[in-house]
């Protein structure tokens, strides 16, 4: 049993935001480990194209700001595959324009704040609510993508980071309320991950600043986060629930300014 516990053979997984970055890397990995995958994304045609590249996968439209769209995603997956074992809530309100507008609270636009919470928090809650009866029947689980920014203060992304902190608490609440029914709920908190969207949204100098504070020798790739998600979704993690797995290359684990200490003790300054 232990040797095969990482496998996902026969399980049905929904990956929201699955048409790119971390989402598609997770879809690929879960499919490779035997899962039937539903890729759900606001870029519906792209989701269908990517699903066609995987064995026994479907692509579905998803608008996280629309309750009916979320419920239709869950229903379509169960109708097609007959069950639901894994819900990976990965989609979020992102993009270069959003990132540029999401600064500190003093300069925060109310519309952006409300839109961020509508998509990230409300949308995730509705997806969990719609999925839970099916997950309870399958003794399945939820893995939420949050962020290491939900665990730290920053001068930017106040809306995004606080919305992800809300999802951490939602993760714990679901784990507590549904654990005895056989449903686990965990979260993965990536750091800066080298997705195409991130490359577009963040200047090179800011990426370098984050990389300097990372304990690895490079920033993480989408495949690194996919490994963490697939592990938590598998029976290998059957004794883990209500937890946040921080997968940020050690960026959130140390005292501030470690890059300067590193330079000092190496004789670089």
**Where would I find the H helices in 35-192?**
44-52, 67-81, 96-101, 110-117, 123-138, 158-178
Decide the pairing of beta strands 36-41 and 12-16: parallel
Dihedral angle computed from the Cα positions of residues 229, 231, 237 and 243, in that order, rounded to the nearest 10 degrees: -30
**Phi, psi torsion values for 250, nearest 5 degrees:** 85, 10
Q: Which of 160, 175, 213, 226 is catalytic?
A: 160
**φ, ψ for residue 266, nearest 5 deg:** -90, 0
160 in active site:
yes
Alpha carbon distance 140, 231 (integer Å): 13
Q: What is the edge-to-edge ordering of all strands in the sheet holding 141-145?
A: 57-61, 36-41, 12-16, 86-89, 141-145, 184-190, 244-247
CA proximity to 175, closest of 166, 191, 186, 188:
186
Phi-psi region of 225 (alpha: psi -120 to 50; beta: other; left: phi over 0): alpha
What positions carry a catalytic annotation? 160
């Amino acid at each position: 049993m232990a040797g095969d516990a990482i496998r996902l053979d026969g399980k049905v997984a929904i990956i929201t935001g699955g048409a790119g970055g971390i989402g598609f890397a997770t879809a690929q990995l879960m499919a490779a480990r035997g899962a039937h995958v539903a890729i759900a994304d606001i870029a519906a045609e792209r989701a269908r194209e990517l699903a066609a590249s995987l064995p026994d996968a479907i692509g579905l439209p998803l608008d996280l700001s629309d309750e009916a769209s979320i419920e239709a995603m869950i229903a379509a997956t169960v109708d097609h595959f007959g069950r639901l074992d894994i819900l990976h809530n990965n989609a979020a309100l992102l993009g270069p324009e959003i990132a540029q507008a999401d600064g500190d609270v003093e300069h925060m636009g109310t519309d952006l704040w409300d839109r961020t919470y509508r998509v990230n928090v409300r949308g995730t809650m509705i997806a969990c609510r719609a999925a839970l009866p099916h997950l309870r029947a399958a003794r399945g689980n939820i893995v939420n993508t949050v962020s290491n920014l939900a665990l730290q203060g920053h001068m930017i992304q106040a809306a995004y980071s606080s919305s992800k902190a809300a999802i951490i608490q939602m993760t714990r609440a679901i784990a507590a309320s549904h654990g005895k029914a056989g449903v686990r709920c965990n979260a993965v908190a990536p750091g800066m991950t080298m997705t195409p969207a991130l490359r577009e949204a963040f200047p090179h100098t800011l990426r370098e600043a984050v990389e300097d504070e990372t304990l690895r020798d490079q920033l993480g790739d989408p495949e690194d986060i996919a490994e963490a998600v697939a592990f938590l979704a598998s029976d290998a993690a059957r004794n883990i629930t209500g937890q946040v797995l921080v997968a940020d290359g050690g960026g959130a684990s140390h005292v501030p300014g470690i890059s300067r200490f590193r330079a000092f003790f190496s004789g670089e300054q």
